[in-house]
Structure 1
Amino acid sequence: MERNLTHIALFAALIAVLSLVPKIDLISGVPITAQSLGIMLCGTVLGAKRGAAAVLLFLALVALGLPLLSGGRGGIGVFMGPSVGYLVGFPVAAFVAGLVVERWRAPIGVAAFAGAVLGGILLLSAFGIVGLRAYSVLIAEGVADAKTFTWVQAVAAATPFLIGDTIKAVLAGAITQSLARLRPDSVLSRA
């Protein structure tokens, strides 16, 4: 139990550390960050439940006001912005990535890459698109000049993330595979 809590806390800290990599702001208001690599690694290394728990711990700290998101953002207000879908999708993405690694008995690097793609790219992008569309509709009702994203525009706004996310999925697979070789007991998704 103590070991699980330590891993969960360490991976929540890893997501926070990845916020130090400078963000790239996009016109949609959703920045490109390195933190999604941390989300992928939470699942591929810790497994479904522990990975989701690490992400939930991170999000709880953000909600409490700690400036742990890229660009030093934090507080409950970030859950009411254009990136709300991604934030809500973070724990689900980690859970799915971990579930793939736990259940699919392919070589660990292949399973980790597949889990990162399924959870950290496809599922997280779907959450992000729905969140951006919902945010733009809700904000447009209250603000006359607000930009409203159609479904097509919301999908188009998510496409710049695909190249970087694919690189992050490759890194998640390689890092998970390296950890499995160097310290097999540390990859809890296969324990």
Structure 2
Amino acid sequence: MERSLTYIALFAALIAALGLVPQITLATGVPITAQSLGVMLCGTVLGARRGALAAGLFVALVALGLPLLSGGRGGLGVFVSPTAGFALGFPLAAFVAGWVVEKWQASIGIAAFAGALIGGVGVLYLCGITGMALVLGKSWPEAALLVSPFIPGDLLKAGLAAGVTRGLAQLRPGAVLSRAG
């Protein structure tokens, strides 16, 4: 139990730290950040339940006003902005990424890539595009077009998450809780 709490807090901090990586803001106003990589790693390393709890802790801290999102954003106003769906989707994305790694018996690298891709890109985009459409008053396809420039970078992050998870599994197999019995 104590170990799980430590990992949950550590990975919530990882998401926050990845928000410090300088962001690149496109014309749509949505920044390219490394935080989604942290969400992917929450799932692929910690597993579904712990990964969702870590991402949920991060979202709760943002809601409390801590400026943890990229660009130093935090507070309840974040949840009515165009990026609200992405922030609110972090726990679900981490859960799905972890669930895929836990259930799919492929090698850890392949399962982690699939989990990061399905949860950290697919589910996160589903939540983010839906939120963007609602906040901006656009149709779902119009909102999807706004985020399409981010897809190549997120595919790269999914590959990076798989590589990190695979490397961690090789160096410290017990630390990859998504595969620890």
In 2, are the aligned partners of 1:42 and 1:52 still within 8 Å (CA)? yes
| Cα distance in 2, alignment partners of residues 131 and 84 from structure 1 | 6
**Per-residue CA distance 1:19-69 (angstroms, 9 max, x = gap):** 111111123222111000000000000000000000011111111111110
The equivalent of 1:87 in structure 2 is 87
1:163 aligns with 2:152: yes
Deviation per CA, 1:75-118: give whole Å up to 9, x if none.
11101100011111111000000000000010000000000000
The share of aligned pairs that are identical, in percent, is: 64
Aligned positions, number: 180
Shift of 1:150: 2.9
Runs (4 or more) in structure 1 with deviation over 3 Å come to none
Identify which of 155, 160, 166 aligns with 1:177. Answer: 166
Q: Is the 8 A contact 1:29 1:83 kept in 2?
A: no
Equivalent residue runs for 1:61-76 within 5 Å: 61-76=61-76
Cα distance in 2 for partners of 1:152, 1:50 equals 33
TM-score, reference length from structure 1: 0.92
Match of 1:35 in 2: 35
Shift of 1:13: 0.4
Aligned residue for 1:145?
none
Verify the 8 A CA contact 1:28 1:82 in the aligned structure 2.
Answer: no
Root-mean-square deviation (CA, aligned residues, Å) is: 0.8
Counterpart position of 1:77:
77
Q: Aligned partners of 2:147, 2:23: CA distance in 1, in Å?
A: 15
Letter in 2 for 1:159: S
Separation of aligned partners in 1, 2:107 and 2:132? 36
Give me the whole-angstrom Cα distance separating, in 2, the residues matched to 1:155 and 1:112. Answer: 25
Structure with greater Cα Rg: 1
In structure 1, the partner of 2:100 is: 100
Residue 110 of structure 1 is matched in structure 2 by: 110
Deviation at 1:151, TM superposition (A): 2.6
Query: TM-score under structure 2 normalisation?
Result: 0.97
Structure 2 CA distance for aligned equivalents of residues 45 and 105 of structure 1: 15
